Chain A
Amino acid sequence: MNFEFFFNNLPELTITGLAFGAIYALIALGYTMVYGVLQLINFAHSEVFMYGTFATLWTVIALNAADANGVKLIAILIVALFASMALSALIALALERVAYRSLIERDAPRLIALISAIGASFVLAEIMGLRDRIAGWFGLDDDLSEYVGKARINNSMAGTLEKPRFDVAGVSISSIDIIVIVAAIGMMVLLDQFVRRSRLGKGIRATAQDPETASLMGVNPTRTIQVTFLIGGLMAGVAAFLYMLKIDTTKYDVGFLLGVKAFTAAVLGGIGNLRGALLGGLVLGVAENWGQALFGGEWRDVIAFVLLVLILLVRPTGLLGESLGKARA
């Protein structure tokens, strides 16, 4: 137990933890919204996120961001953000169409939908991990080597960005951490307002409460489910972009652990609950970072799960309780 290090660096540890937590929270949204509407663990959501990280990486390579600076760099990053959101949303929608829709329509047992999701997750991750071979079928592996090479190992865009740190009252803060936290919380607030106030958001909440009555009241259930997946995908895209800003590297299986963590965050806050996802993500991120400082990095993931078990024992429905439907309007 390294108490001295912990107490000396508490503010820094907290801020980095919050940045991680904000990314968890954005991914957790995809889990929590789909769960709220369909009572289904969208296991393949981690791959939606993973495709977003690659969209960011590829945009940065394609637009040659390493040589850009100033306004041009910012413009490239904005393009990367939109590319990431677009690809993630596309994957999420495809996922709904291929892996879930027929099961939902037939009212199949929920466990089988989980298996379908797991299968889809394998397929998506493996396509990314085998992209050099797949490009090879079309004879494109040489032309696209910048994009499809290193299919099974880490792909990095380190050095693209300068990450200045600044001091506030003697605490050294990374500017990226602040950007990540502010952007994530901003997105969450936007989404929360969207679900509360907009027509589509009301439709989502109505379907979450009672799908049959909602459809009698003129809410199209298929459309609502699509919108839910779309929003989850967009948020995962934002998360992927922010993740790449902070971490710089990605890999075909990067989604797995992050997905598990994000789902943990969603459960921690109360699954189906948007504000719960934010709270759960932030609590998880900070707790992990504190725990890492106290017990050492190798215990990081253990801490996350122990925390989850402990909180569920005390509050079996998560910190804020579940239910997307009951969000007050």
Chain B
Amino acid sequence: MNIGFKDKLTGLPKPVRILLWILLALFAYALPLLELPIISTPGVDFGGVLFTVTIYCLVALGLNIVVGYAGLLDLGYVGFYAIGAYTVGILTSFHANWPLLLAIPVAVVAAMISGVILGAPTLRVRGDYLAIVTLGFGEIIRLTAVNLEWLGDARGIKNIAKPPNIGDEKTGLFEIPHLLWGDGTVLVDTEHPTKFLVFGYIDQVPYYWMGLTAVIIVLIADILIKSSRVGRAWEATREDEDAAELMGVPTFKFKLLAFSTGAFVGGLAGALYASRQGFINPLSFLLLYSILFLAAVVVGGQGNRWGVLLGAILVAYLPQRFREFDDFRVLAFGAALVLLATLRPEGLLPPRRTVRAKQLEQELEELEHGTDEGEEAARV
């Protein structure tokens, strides 16, 4: 038996573990300032790419609740994302003048309510039907946005509010320099510092910090929910709905809860995205994105929050890093999906339960049929 990374980690004393997590978080926050040579994206603003990565992480965490924990296949997740983004767009620019911080809670609640409205009638429908119904939902949301003038039709919504600045607009509270990597030397670049915390048009780093903070909060909530009664009820429902129902789990209610919780996180991601972008139109919410989100969850390992984060990072980051291959990006992405699926069907980081179940199954198989050597011996 090899000792996994996770077991080693849990073997450490608690203060050390907490310290490690804090260091990791600090590193994540500092990432865009370090501008590490191999990781940074040539030709595209690194802060902006990192912001996209955090949005994908949020979406993947939310979708993981629906797909990974509760086992409901959702092909229209972009619908909730769109509802979040459009609510913010309407409230802060198109039909009203709300500040962003007031609009985000409304957007999130709107997404959640739409999740309940969609889920209540459709969650009684079985697995794959749910997939196509949700796919239809995502498309209906997008096409409605295209067709309704009230939602800005195909031209979309402009001038969406940015988050409020903290400190003076010119300088912020203080300025943080970036690093500059030359040939084997590291310099401190004081020419283009990031202003703490000014949400402007050019410097994307503050948005990344906002996104990262949201990811960390959702991640903590995810850990708490997963280990609670609700998380166990979700898993029971996923594994065997009838058995769960017999054990007294109101499965429909919990499925609905998973659906709306997922919608909540999706709406939040959409709202943050809209505020960074400042501009949205229906093209930002194509069915393709639902598929990319699902790919992030499944490739990373559905049901394991670290796995889906890894999947989200890969799906959002790789296409940006390899922009040189521009035209062939989608082709390579598709090929990578096929390869990953056939080589690692459980995902890159499968949840421990899946790994354990797999081992157990193998042991049972060996007990039933005997190992190959045993059979040989018996024949002799």
**B302 partner, pick from A111, A120, A260, A271, beta carbons under 8 A:** A111
A contact residues around B122 at 8 Å (CB)? 309, 312-313
- The binding surface of chain B is classed by DSSP as helix
B133 touches A312 (CB 8 A): yes
Within 8 A of A (CB), among B102-124: 121-122, 124
Given contacts A118-B291, A309-B136, contact A316 B342 (CB under 8 A): no
B contact residues around A313 at 8 Å (CB)? 121-122, 125
**B345 partner, pick from A106, A260, A267, beta carbons under 8 A:** A106
Q: What separation, in Å, do the CA atoms of A263 and B132 have in the docked complex?
A: 8
Q: How far is the CB of B117 from chain A (nearest CB, A)?
A: 11
Interface status of A116 (Cβ within 8 A of chain B) = yes
Instruction: Give the one of A111, A264, A299 with max B CB within 10 A.
Output: A111
Q: What separation, in Å, do the CA atoms of A90 and B245 have in the docked complex?
A: 46
B contact residues around A111 at 8 Å (CB)? 67, 73, 298, 302
Interface status of B341 (Cβ within 8 A of chain A) = yes
Q: What separation, in Å, do the CA atoms of A305 and B140 have in the docked complex?
A: 7
**B124 partner, pick from A39, A298, A304, A316, beta carbons under 8 A:** A316
A contact residues around B299 at 8 Å (CB)? 115
Within 8 A of B (CB), among A29-57: 35, 39, 41
Given contacts A260-B135, A313-B121, contact A130 B333 (CB under 8 A): no
B contact residues around A267 at 8 Å (CB)? 128-129, 132
Q: What separation, in Å, do the CA atoms of A9 and B18 have in the docked complex?
A: 72
User: How many of B's residues come within 8 Å of A, CB to CB?
Assistant: 45
Interface status of A113 (Cβ within 8 A of chain B) = yes
Q: Which residue of A lies closest to B131 (CB)?
A: A41
A contact residues around B128 at 8 Å (CB)? 35, 39, 41, 267, 271
Interface status of A258 (Cβ within 8 A of chain B) = no
Instruction: Give the one of B336, B342, B346 with max A CB within 10 A.
Output: B342
A316 touches B334 (CB 8 A): no
Contact with B along A244-267 (1 / 0, CB 8 A): 000000000000100010011001
Given contacts A102-B342, A119-B337, A123-B331, contact A308 B147 (CB under 8 A): no
A130 touches B147 (CB 8 A): no
Q: Which residue of B lies closest to A316 (CB)?
A: B125
Interface status of A217 (Cβ within 8 A of chain B) = no
Interface status of A112 (Cβ within 8 A of chain B) = yes
B334 touches A123 (CB 8 A): yes
B331 touches A260 (CB 8 A): no
B contact residues around A312 at 8 Å (CB)? 122, 125, 129, 133
Within 8 A of A (CB), among B122-173: 122, 124-126, 128-129, 131-133, 135-137, 139-140, 143-144, 146-147
Given contacts A115-B298, A115-B299, A123-B334, contact A305 B139 (CB under 8 A): yes
**A98 partner, pick from B67, B129, B331, B338, beta carbons under 8 A:** B338
Interface status of A75 (Cβ within 8 A of chain B) = no
Within 8 A of B (CB), among A116-147: 116, 118-123, 126-127, 130, 133
A contact residues around B125 at 8 Å (CB)? 312-313, 316
B143 touches A122 (CB 8 A): no
Instruction: Give the one of B122, B132, B133 with max A CB within 10 A.
Output: B132
A contact residues around B298 at 8 Å (CB)? 111-112, 114-115
B contact residues around A305 at 8 Å (CB)? 136-137, 139-140
Q: How far is the CB of B63 from chain A (nearest CB, A)?
A: 12
User: How many of A's residues come within 8 Å of B, CB to CB?
Assistant: 45
Q: How far is the CB of A259 from chain B (nearest CB, A)?
A: 11
Interface status of B22 (Cβ within 8 A of chain A) = no
A contact residues around B144 at 8 Å (CB)? 302
Q: How far is the CB of A128 from chain B (nearest CB, A)?
A: 10
Q: How far is the CB of B302 from chain A (nearest CB, A)?
A: 7
B295 touches A109 (CB 8 A): no
Interface status of A301 (Cβ within 8 A of chain B) = yes
Q: How far is the CB of B359 from chain A (nearest CB, A)?
A: 16
Q: How far is the CB of B226 from chain A (nearest CB, A)?
A: 19
Within 8 A of B (CB), among A282-329: 298-299, 301-302, 304-306, 308-309, 312-313, 316-317
Within 8 A of A (CB), among B321-354: 327-328, 330-331, 333-342, 345-347
Q: How far is the CB of A28 from chain B (nearest CB, A)?
A: 12
Q: What separation, in Å, do the CA atoms of A127 and B128 have in the docked complex?
A: 29
Within 8 A of A (CB), among B291-309: 291, 294-295, 298-299, 302
A contact residues around B126 at 8 Å (CB)? 316-317
A308 touches B132 (CB 8 A): yes
Interface status of B244 (Cβ within 8 A of chain A) = no
Interface status of A103 (Cβ within 8 A of chain B) = yes
What would be 8 A-B contacts, judged by CB atoms less than 8 Å apart?
A: A103-B345, A123-B334, A123-B338, A130-B331, A264-B136, A306-B140, A309-B137, A312-B133
Q: Which 10 pairs between the two chains have the least Cβ-Cβ distance?
A: A119-B337, A122-B334, A305-B136, A116-B341, A108-B345, A126-B331, A123-B334, A119-B338, A119-B334, A112-B345
A111-B298, A119-B338 given; name 7 further pairs at CB < 8 Å: A39-B128, A123-B338, A126-B330, A130-B331, A263-B132, A305-B137, A305-B140
